[in-house]
Amino acid sequence: MALVVGMFLFGGVALGQGYFHIVEKGDTLWDICEKYYGDPFLWPKLWEMNPFVTNPHLLKPGDKIRLLEDYPFKKAALAKKPAKKVEATPKKEWWEEGLEISSLTNVQAVGYLSVEKPIPLGRIVSSDSRTQILAEDDVIYIEEMAGPIKAGSSYSVYKCSKLLDDPISGEPLGYVVAPLGRIKVLEKTGEGLYKATVAENYEEIHVGDLISHYHEISSCVKPVNASLGLESRIAAVKGQRRVVGQFDVVYLPHGKGHGIQRGNLFKILKERRGPGTGVMLPELTIGYLLVVTSLQDSASGVIVMSTETIPNGSLVKIMRWDEAPQYLGGLPACAVE
């Protein structure tokens, strides 16, 4: 924050290297010379002193006009007044803006961890395509199951994992629901039957895949700090892999109900014991996790950096954004809605 200390001169201020007048709406060089010197005919000399001025009769508010020091100011202009603070606009840190994370992951395909197995609204029963894998713009037909399905609406095509166990306790954990793409329903063609088209593919879509409600997720994430001390564990991995690395999607068994929010940043820790003694050593940071979505009882995130492979079940602890890895500052800034 810059401080400018000097004296006012009928609105002028000393900036350390001469006196200046801060232009206000309606000011002209003629008026300024009259104001400070009592002689408006000095305006050509003042113009010569400020060559950036293109029109002496039309000045831009906020510009600084350097005043003539070879001519005496009016006596009233020399009266000292309290110092003025000129505050520069504080520079925002990179984590105070939204971060565009589409280069890290497809946020629409992140999915979530569900304690209960989701009930599908419908399923794909046939298509006009002769291939096994459905592509964008393929015409398909949807059978309504739990419904309702509405013409003109978009729906998510998804796959659901088997019931997964907690990697630490071995207790039943839940199901990973992974979006495969988006479809748009065109019209109703019969009782409980709808014609649709494939709008987007994130992964392979096949006849028989299930559909659910579609929710647009923004790829512009606002960094959010949370209470220090908040921790969880990686409980599941998209694709059910045992180890993960940078840009992989993982799931936490804690969510909004535990204080975890979209935009939180966690450090991923490696727990260590002393050789032979079994004494717990300080944890080692081996990666960072950005929360992309948070439900009541679970959260989904992307590993934004890793220094080694990360086992499923790894401990994660909340961290502040001013301690974030600097490379995240290279992500494009975006406006959070």
Sheet arrangement for strand 64-66: 8-9, 12-14, 19-22, 64-66
Give the span between the Cα atoms of 164 and 176, in whole angstroms: 8
Give the span between the Cα atoms of 14 and 21, in whole angstroms: 9
Residue 37, both tokens: 């010197």
Which residue pairs, CB below 8 angstroms and at least 24 apart, start in 27-31? 27/59, 27/61, 28/56, 28/57, 28/58, 28/59, 29/53, 29/56, 29/57, 29/59, 29/65, 30/56, 30/57
Q: What is the DSSP string of 27-59?
A: --HHHHHHHHHS-GGGHHHHHHH-TT-S-TTSP
Q: Where are the domains of the chain?
A: 8-78, 98-102+220-334, 111-213
Same fold, 8-78 and 98-102+220-334: no
Q: Structure pTM?
A: 0.71
In DSSP terms, which residues pair with 251 in a beta bridge? 236, 300
Give the span between the Cα atoms of 194 and 103, in whole angstroms: 35
Residue 312, both tokens: 């499923």
What is the CATH number that goes with domain 98-102+220-334? 2.40.10.410
Residue 63 is classified by DSSP as P
Q: What are phi and psi of 292, to 5 degrees?
A: -100, -40
**Torsion angle, CA of 223/215/294/174, rounded to 10 degrees?**
-150
The topology under which CATH files domain 111-213 is: Thrombin, subunit H (2.40.10)
Choices 3.10.350, 3.30.70, 3.10.50, 1.10.10: CATH for 8-78: 3.10.350
Per-residue pLDDT in tens (0 to 9) along the chain, 337 residues: 333 333 344 455 554 456 788 888 888 888 888 888 888 888 888 988 888 888 887 888 888 888 887 888 876 554 444 444 545 566 778 888 899 999 999 999 999 999 999 999 999 999 998 888 999 999 999 999 997 999 999 999 999 999 999 999 999 999 999 999 999 999 999 999 999 999 999 999 999 999 999 999 999 999 999 888 899 999 999 998 877 999 999 999 999 999 999 999 999 999 887 777 778 788 899 999 999 999 999 999 999 999 999 999 999 999 999 999 888 888 899 988 7
- Which residue shows structure tokens 């037909």? 141
Give the span between the Cα atoms of 144 and 278, in whole angstroms: 57
